[in-house]
Amino acid sequence: MNVYRIATPGIYPEVDPHHYHADPCPTPSLSNSIAKTILEHSPEHAWIEHPRLNPEFERKEQKKFDLGNAAHTLFLGRGKRFSVLPHENYLTKQAKLDRDAAIAADKQPILEEQFERARTMVSAAKIQLNEYPDEDGVPMIADFQHGVAEVMLAARDGDDWFRTLLDWWPQSQRVIYDYKTTGVSIAPGELDRKMWLDGWHIQAAFHEFLLEILDPTFSGRRKHRFVVQETFEPFAIQVAQIPEDALTIGRKQVANARRQWSQAMAKKQWPGYPREICYPHIPEWAENKWLAREIAEHEDMKRSRNEPMLTSVAGG
């Protein structure tokens, strides 16, 4: 598939994922995922992962089956192209040939059983969304009745280009939805950690940054929601709306990533980790855990010293 290029900033609905991930902007652009790489690692790591900067870059993920990818496509009605194969596994010669043919056709192979599991997941998600009321008491599934999937935002700020992909943009355009799947628990007590580790607040802030440039109509009034679903039965979902305090941190992190990206692009230098000895500190939680153990052992020793020694008497 030939990759097309855009000439102007704008909102591009229903973009083919192949085009988006290949980066169709006039110059290499900063995406949400590359921003996270800069923040979590370094600009050097970002250069390695960028399709327009690294001449040896090659996307290899489509050869690996991912239940989340299949569910994502079925849930949104757009996404990666699949080839459903009538095999139980890839042990036979024909199954391997069909798999390789699908990959050669730029499709992700998926076995029938896997495809049916993804369909069951999506059906469960929609049933649950019908039971999720929004602030007005309307079932949240209504937001998915009319809207656009896979919307690319491409914006320019100074000499730098930025791009991101909205999973689902309802017709009202006041809410942005992202659908994610996970193999770990998303019980309410786990969502704070999940949001931080996966950078949902960064993604929401990145969306907001581009929309402020391209379409400020609902500036400060948009909601960023993540529909998160477990990949194991009963395929439970949680709808996480990013609150203002998390968005505030996300905005600071996006600003930091933009600064590092802009400097690297201007100087054509992609610094990695500092070339100096570092002195890692013990995390506060680990230090507190050890101190609590020392205190507990000390208390045990005090109690044992105050207790009478048990003796045994031999013979009758």
Give the SS3 label for residue 178: strand
Burial class of 138 by CB neighbour count within 10 A (0 to 12, 13 to 18, 19+): exposed
* Block residue for tokens 């239940």: 67
Q: Write down all domains in the chain, each with its CATH number in brackets.
A: 1-38+130-279 (3.90.320.10), 60-125 (no CATH)
Please state whether 134 falls in left (phi above 0), alpha (psi between -120 and 50) or beta.
beta
Contact 174, 135 (CB under 8 A): no
Q: Which residues pair with 182 in a beta bridge?
A: 230
Global pTM reads: 0.81
Burial class of 283 by CB neighbour count within 10 A (0 to 12, 13 to 18, 19+): exposed
- Tell me the C-alpha distance between 108 and 59, whole Å: 12
Please state whether 80 falls in left (phi above 0), alpha (psi between -120 and 50) or beta.
beta
Distance spanning both ends of the chain, measured CA to CA: 94
Per-residue pLDDT of the chain (316 residues; tens, 9 = 90+): 566 889 999 999 878 878 888 999 999 999 999 999 999 999 999 999 999 999 888 765 444 456 778 888 888 877 667 777 777 777 777 777 777 777 777 777 777 778 888 889 999 999 999 998 888 888 889 888 889 988 999 999 999 999 999 999 998 888 999 999 988 899 888 888 899 999 999 999 999 999 999 988 888 888 999 999 998 999 999 999 999 999 999 999 999 999 999 999 999 999 999 999 989 999 898 999 999 999 998 888 887 777 554 454 544 4
Cis omega before residue 234 (within 30°)?
A: yes
